[in-house]
Amino acid sequence: MTNQTQGDGAAARRCVAFAGTRRIAAGALADVALETKAAVDRGERAPVLVFDEETSEPVELDLRGTPDDVLRRLPRSEPSAERQTSPPAPRGPGRPRLGVVAREVTLLPRHWEWLAAQPGGASVALRRLVDEARRERGPADRVRQGREAAYRFMSAMAGNEPGFEEATRALFAGDAARFDATTAAWPADVRAHARRLAASTFASTFASTFASTFGA
């Protein structure tokens, strides 16, 4: 069970822990931290590394003290750009903010002129443009982020394994068969996690190629 004092970010974040090349825990951050501490307390000698399951960013854990001490020191998830906001200014009467965040945007005069001429004004036009870009680039952005996560994990855990360079080329080429072949000799748990991270990018690449080719 996770400690009730943990913030939502720490409770929701999912991680995976390795002792050497062996996976020792996976799941919610708090659960992984406790399992990792238990392994270390039992005398685990292999280096222990913990990764964010989504991004493969390393997660630093302070395993000193009691389990409750470990839970109290859990790192919180880094806030996304959308959540990195200044404290809200006092609101006066009028329309509710509806979650709108005010920030500085620097544009050339011609850009401001064009935005001001759009229906609803500059703010509405900018929000519409951003939403359209997110819809159009969403699949490509997910593939890129997935490849970065897979490469980050591979570099940390398999950089000295046979076929690492070829596996990297296969990853960025979207070649699932070659990726599986070049990772076949890797330690089982490292291979399985690397393939899981890479699989979503291969599937997304295939879907994008099919859609662009056949107009699906």
The domain boundary residue, chosen from 72, 92, 110: 72
Distance CA 6, CA 77 (A): 11
Judged against a pLDDT cut of 60, whether residue 5 lies above it is answered with no
Domain assignment present for 67 = yes
| Count of C-beta atoms within a 10 Å radius of residue 151 | 19
Q: What is the DSSP string of 106-166?
A: ---HHHHHHHHTSTTHHHHHHHHHHHHHHHHHHHHHHHHHHHHHHHHHHHHHHTTSTTHHH
How many domains does the chain fold into?
A: 2
Average pLDDT, the chain: 82
Which residues constitute the domain of residue 165?
121-214
Q: Is there a domain that residue 80 lies in? A: no
The whole-number pLDDT of residue 79 equals 44
pLDDT exceeds 80 at position 135: no
Q: Mean pLDDT, to the nearest integer, of 59-85?
A: 78
Residue 24 in any domain: the answer is yes
The answer on 147 and 208 residing in a single domain is yes
Model confidence pLDDT, tens digit, residues 192-204: 999 999 998 887 5
Minimum mean pLDDT range among 35-49, 78-92, 160-174: 78-92
Q: Is residue 157 assigned to a domain?
A: yes
Q: What pLDDT is recorded for position 214?
A: 38
pTM of structure: 0.68
In a domain, 205, yes or no: yes
